[in-house]
Chains A and B, each alone.
Chain A
Amino acid sequence: MRTFLFALALAVPLDAFAARNEVSFEYVADFHGDEGVDMATGTWVANAVGLRGGGTIFQDRRHFGLVLDGGWTRSFQAAHTNGYLYDPASGGNTELPGYTSALDIETLSVGLKGDYEVRNIFYPYVHAQLGVAIGSLSVDDDNTRPDNLNQLTSVGAAPVGLFGLGAEIMLPDLAKGWKVTGAIFFEGGYQAAANMRLGDAGGPINLSGGLFRTGIGLRFR
């Protein structure tokens, strides 16, 4: 529902005023390397999927365009952590009860994308965004029981800034009179994030790191 409301808020006004609109489904990999996130999710990379919409707010005769866009991505990754205790006497390990943790990171961002049209199909671009990442850590030490006492959630937020260089391939119009076409894009860059503390679970975690983004979308002329 959050997705829908956000998309509605973004898409309708852009559709109303922009000369050229776009909407994309995207995959974003954030190579943050944060130890706390690694502990909560079992991986050093936050894999996110999301949606992005925007509209061209400036277009000159030399093929340069400026797009105002906004997007939402969500990374939801989980880990099951088993504890163990080393017993020096036996040289073996005693297994301790484990717990499942899931880190849900939603990023909302707005930004500007400057692109340059090459032969009406290839659009290299530079992309800068500002936004906020909202993290929610859920932990549960017996997720087979819905009434388990220890089902705990800690929430935090941190501002983020994203910068990327990419390229988009935009196909010719899909049908005569439709003025709509498909596009595929690839982008590499960096996400700078402030430290995020997650309630009682503490932290900080930090989502700064290299960024890879790819996706497909529709372009309305």
Chain B
Amino acid sequence: MNHRTLLMLALLTTGCGRYDIDPSQYTEEEGLWDPQSALPTDGGLFVRLTRAGDVALLTPGQDTVRVHLDDAEIDSIEAGAGSAVLTRSTEFVCDAGATPSKYVDDCPSDRLTQVGRADLIDASGSVARFDVGAWYGAFTFSADGHFAVAPIDANRPTAGGGLVNLTSVLVIDEETKTSYEVSVGFAADRVIFRNDAEGKAIGMLVLSRSEVANVDLTSQVAVPRATYPLTLDAGQTVTPIDVALTPDNHYALITIEGSGDLYVLDLESPSINIVALAGHPSALLVDPVSDRTYISYKASSRIDVLDHVRFDVETLDVDSATDHLIQGPGFVFAYSRSGALDGYRIDTTTFAVDRYRFTQPPTKVELAPDGTAAIALTATAGVGRLEVADLRQVDGKVDTDVKPFGLDGVGVGLTFAADADGSRALILQDGVDTLYSLSWPSLQVKAVDLPSPPAAIGTMPDGTFYITHQDALGLVTFLDDADNLVEVNGFGQLGMLDRPLLTQEEN
């Protein structure tokens, strides 16, 4: 090797090795994935990959599955149905000849059209797709997973939809994989399904401005059977707020904004009966066992019990006003999120009222899966507590002493799972990395150490807890009943460099 080669090699070696540089700063909307979008199904946990416009299916101990639509960007996960989820997405269509490219960013913005759609998605991809205008709002699902119904959202644009029928709702039939519009009334905003004894959806009530439509779902397509006007004065607007069905599906009970009237709609022979209440109700709950409706008031320390035959009202006096009612086995639990400390267990057979007093105002109350306890997250002046009310009856009596536990921060999330010894609750605290697990009825509390601060918690259908974290590149922890933690991570990067594709129109 002569001097020339040596010189060359000496120079060339100067290029070896990594060199450090200061990274550029960059911002983007939403991040790579949405920890609040997690939706548990029988097939695993679905989360939305916001930048890729896809969803990821996470299963503990298994490879993550990225579910990608070739010609649409997924905007939201609406709800689960078995092992699948219904998603809303957007197709991007470029005018013919505007670009030879297949990518959205190559199409001039004035030649680009966005088209809404929904897909039923499982691990294999889209199993059914439905055209859904962008003007439709959130879906409501029937309990049997057969139907999904979306009313028009007045805050969404109707541009690009031609002449949009503003009295319509969109019905998706997930069994026949079809979607169609049904005209029900202007500004529809609430849907409640009527189920038969087997839980099969047989009809729905749709609340719209000043009227309620009763729609039959037993035919091939949904058919409005009757419309109930809530006022006969065309100049008056009556806005229905809440709706409940009697257990026999015979009557619908409807509360009205700013009114103390309860509208009782006879769904068998269409007619309306108006029951005068003590004031504007704050909550309405139908108990199928006693066949009565429980009504609470924000401004009045009473709970009314309405029978479903003569619609007579019986009043139960309580010490403070309540605004939330929860159904339990053989009882109703009433409490307030408006600063009052009391909770009430109302026996639905004897109508006996037992008073529980929390040490701080509750912000959230959940019943254990077997209904034997009410667990409350309470807070005042930034001090958070977990309080447990034992709802079990022993010899016809209950222990009304509430067991409080101090938290590190303010509790913001609570989820339950049944286990062999009863049930466990998992508590999420605002800005605190540690989760607490509370076993009921043993009242054993365990701290769950996590690899990263949690963002949201929930329970999988098999009773495993899931915990999503705010990690930018994706982290979900699964916690089973043996306290085993399984981390699934890195899914946030899936498709992060993908460019949105144009939808190719069929000729």
Contact = CB atoms under 8 A, between A and B. Distances in A.
Interface string B1-31: 1101101110111111011011111111111
Contacts of A85: 29-31
Interface in A93-146: 96-100, 102, 137, 139-142
Given A15-B4, A21-B8, A200-B493, A79 B23 contact: yes
A12 B2 CA distance: 10
B461 interface: no
B495 interface: yes
B381 to A, nearest CB: 23
Interface stretch (B289-297, B383-391, B469-477): B469-477
Number of chain B interface residues as a range = 35 or more
Max chain B C-beta neighbours (<10 A), residue from A43, A82, A86: A82
B76 to A, nearest CB: 14
A149 B498 CA distance: 23
Contacts of A40: 497
B487 interface: yes
B32 A49 contact: no
B499 interface: yes
Max chain B C-beta neighbours (<10 A), residue from A25, A81, A82, A220: A81
Nearest to A95: B27
Nearest to A12: B5
A214 interface: no
A69 to B, nearest CB: 13
Contacts of B472: 81, 83, 96-99, 141, 150
A12 B473 CA distance: 45
B24 A139 contact: no
A170 B29 CA distance: 52
Interface string B404-442: 000000000000000000000000000000000000000
B24 A79 contact: yes
A51 interface: yes
Given A86-B29, A97-B470, A202 B4 contact: no
B8 A11 contact: yes
Given A21-B8, A220-B4, A35 B499 contact: yes
B21 A35 contact: no
A198 B12 CA distance: 29
A53 interface: yes
A115 B271 CA distance: 97
A214 to B, nearest CB: 16
A3 B31 contact: no
A3 B15 contact: yes
Nearest to A25: B11
Number of chain A interface residues as a range = 35 or more
Given A3-B16, A12-B5, A202-B497, A149 B451 contact: yes
B31 A96 contact: yes
A114 to B, nearest CB: 22
Contact of A21 (B4, B23, B470, B493): B4
Interface string A48-74: 011101000000000000000000101
Contacts of B67: none
A98 B5 CA distance: 47
Contact of A99 (B15, B16, B473): B473
A143 B494 CA distance: 19
B24 A198 contact: no
Given A86-B29, A97-B31, A150-B490, A15 B21 contact: no
Given A149-B487, A202-B494, A23 B8 contact: yes
A96 B24 contact: no
Interface in A32-47: 35-36, 39-43
B18 A3 contact: no
Nearest to A6: B12
A76 interface: yes
B182 interface: no
A181 interface: no
Contacts of B27: 81-84
Given A15-B8, A41-B24, 18 more contacts: A1-B16, A3-B13, A12-B5, A15-B2, A21-B4, A39-B26, A42-B23, A76-B21, A78-B24, A82-B27, A85-B29, A85-B30, A85-B31, A99-B473, A141-B492, A149-B471, A202-B497, A204-B499
Interface of A: 1-4, 7-8, 11-12, 15, 21, 23, 25, 35-36, 39-43, 49-51, 53, 72, 74, 76-86, 96-100, 102, 137, 139-142, 149-150, 152, 154, 180, 198, 200-205, 218, 220
6 contacts: A11-B12, A53-B12, A81-B26, A83-B28, A149-B489, A202-B496
A-B pairs with lowest CB-CB distance, top 10 = A42-B24, A83-B31, A7-B12, A78-B23, A150-B473, A99-B472, A36-B497, A141-B472, A202-B498, A202-B495
